[in-house]
Structure 1
Amino acid sequence: MEDVDSQDVASQDISQETPPQDVFIAPSIHQQAILAGASYTHHSATPEVVTQDLSIECVLGVDEAGRGPVLGPMVYGLLYLPLVQHRSLLAQTHHFDDSKVLTPTFRSSLMKALCTSTTDLYENCGWATRVMSARDIGSGMLKPAGTYNLNAQAMDATIDLIKDVFAKGINVREIYIDTIGSPAVYQKKLERIFPTTIITVAKKADSLYPCVSAASVCAKVTRDAALEVCYQTYATAIGPNEEPQVAAEGWGSGYPSDARCTTWLKGHMDPMFGWGSECRFSWGTAKDLLEAKGTGTKVDWPVEDDDQGMRMTDFFSATADGGTDKESDELTTWFGKPVAEEVF
């Protein structure tokens, strides 16, 4: 239950944080699901260019945003397009790159272009996102048995997104993915699942392969907007004159290394319940704050006893003192009276 963010990545993310006024609310933002703390998947329209001619080979990239924050979802992004346009359209024409090295304004402009029907990006690219809510991430990692760790959750999100694209009939020839853990191990697992596709899993794939760069933009812009949607539930409060008051401090990037984030967590913690569904309770930051500043109330959940060989009819035949009563007898004969062994 440790924080999994890298200080280098976190500092980069904080420095490239999107100001609220520049956040682009893409179609991948499902506000109701986000506010409910639910995970969900969004797919863009499928480009006609790859559905009208199924012989066109495509390249597909996958990347994530928000692996390390204690606040907000982790988002996996996927993007595919015809293989022949991979570098010319994405890198040379539109200058996609690792989302962390692009300015927030430029990231938003690229995402807007992907979502605008009159652009060449919209006509040739399909994309998807998997928003993994903080609540679901935490509940998976905090299971008392069979822990569903973050790497496993990330792997499943990646596989499901790719399977969705194959289900659309897209002729995916090459797949590029930014690694989770060991690139070799990750790649071999994916090759077993998608044996007819050339798969490359690499570190820093978002800066090496344009389709991964584009996927990282989809993921990052979606996460920024989802984080802003979550914050809006706290952003306004009713003042003494029953007028809305906007909270100015914000919660920053959501990373534990961001002082604004930890300050917000300390100032908005319920001593009993902690925070809302925007918080990853499995993170060490949240756990430490609850232990240090919470009520100290501990809950012992009852352990379910086994049935010790009891039959379903035992529940109908025994009274509280171990005997039987008329009502119980009626229940045991609901489907007819027992037949004496002598009959057989």
Structure 2
Amino acid sequence: METKDWFTKPCVMGIDEAGRGPVLGPMVYACACCPLSTSLQLVSRSFADSKTLTEAKREQLFEEIQADEQMASATDSLSAATISAQMLRRHKISLNALASDSTHRLIDAALAAKMNLHEIYIDTVGDAERYETRLGHRYPTIKFTVRPKADALFPIVSAASIVAKVTRDHLLRDFEVQESVDVSRQFGSGYPADPDTKTWLDQHIDPVFGYPGIVRFSWQTCESLLNQRGVPITWECPEDEGQQTLQQWGRSSSSSSQLASSSYQAAPKRHSFFRARKLARPICSF
């Protein structure tokens, strides 16, 4: 975030996200900031929950926010690949935890730019009261207000909502597929219930590799489709798990199930010293 002259004055920040629920594309967190002394003027600027605005109106307000010398904004984007990797790792990180980390990064960036933050308004993540308390402990000099539908209650959060939504729309529009496949851009809203999104997912599934990187593999929608149409894959359990079957990914297969129950012998359980420290034997290939 680029430092501005008014950062030394008492400032207010609003934080909101776009793209929490879709199965496609990034989740974008954004903040909007201004001096406390001018915050009441935002009421007259038609800022509102971005979901209630037309695309043209969002774009117009976004440009106004970027051009306003008495406002500042920043974004923190989590790609679909990042979300999937964190939510599918062995020790899973929840979407709420990822959202909280994004919020911290936005606040930390403003503080690093020497912004004199006095108040921050945030659209709720999980339990509003508990989240507000946690933030207050982390940043004791700042007054936090965490509320459901904050983007409809506080104009500074509405401004952040617009920045987040327009930024996500631009990222989706400009997304470059890294995989060597032809991908249609007619994927609808990206929400699992959208018929266009359902059709896109149905047409772009690969039985081995699943989907291009724009898709969140961690969503139940993808998991169900991959279980139905993916090639059966068997994985040996880590030897320190002591399990008697092979873990499987892909659609169910009677032959794979028989293989899992008949041919796999669990390795002897390792000493508790190694299990407690999650130490594994290195496997080297030369």
Bucket of the pairwise TM-score, normalised by the shorter protein: 0.7 to 0.9
Within 2, Cα distance between the matches of 1:303 and 1:132? 33
Indicate which of 54, 63, 68 corresponds to 1:103: 54
Indicate which of 296, 299, 315 corresponds to 2:232: 296
Answering whether residue 152 of structure 2 is matched by residue 207 of structure 1, we say yes
Within 1, Cα distance between the matches of 2:273 and 2:46? 67
- 1:124-273 to 2 correspondences below 5 Å: 124-144=70-90, 146-230=91-175, 247=184, 250-273=186-209
Q: Is the 8 A contact 2:20 2:27 kept in 1?
A: yes
TM-superposed deviation, 1:264: 0.5
TM-superposed deviation, 1:195: 0.7
TM-superposed deviation, 1:302: 4.5
Instruction: Letter of the 2:87 partner, please give it.
Output: M
CA shift digits 1:270-293 (9 cap, x unpaired): 101111221111100000000001
Instruction: Letter of the 1:137 partner, please give it.
Output: I
Instruction: Letter of the 1:273 partner, please give it.
Output: F
Q: Which has the larger radius of gyration?
A: 1
TM-superposed deviation, 1:296: 2.0
Summarize the Cα distance change of 1:309–1:257 in structure 2 as closer, same or farther, 3 Å threshold: closer
Q: Is the 8 A contact 2:177 2:212 kept in 1?
A: no
Q: Is the 8 A contact 1:72 1:227 kept in 2?
A: yes
Indicate which of 44, 47, 52 corresponds to 2:4: 47
TM-score, L = length of structure 1: 0.67
Relative contact order, CA 8 A, sep 6+: which one is greater?
Answer: 1
Q: Which runs of 5 or more residues in structure 1 are unaligned?
A: 1-42, 238-245, 311-344
Q: Is the 8 A contact 1:47 1:125 kept in 2?
A: no
Percent identity, aligned pairs only, is 41
**Equivalenced residues, count:** 245
Q: Is the 8 A contact 1:91 1:97 kept in 2?
A: no
- 1:9-28 to 2 correspondences below 5 Å: none
Indicate which of 33, 49, 59 corresponds to 2:12: 59
Summarize the Cα distance change of 1:142–1:125 in structure 2 as closer, same or farther, 3 Å threshold: same
CA shift digits 1:162-218 (9 cap, x unpaired): 011111111111110000111100000000011111110001110111110000011
Equivalent residue, structure 1, for 2:216: 280
Within 2, Cα distance between the matches of 1:217 and 1:233? 28
- Secondary structure of the 2:82 match is helix
Within 1, Cα distance between the matches of 2:59 and 2:159? 12
- Secondary structure of the 1:148 match is coil
> RMSD of aligned C-alpha atoms?
2.2
- Secondary structure of the 2:135 match is helix
TM-superposed deviation, 1:222: 0.7
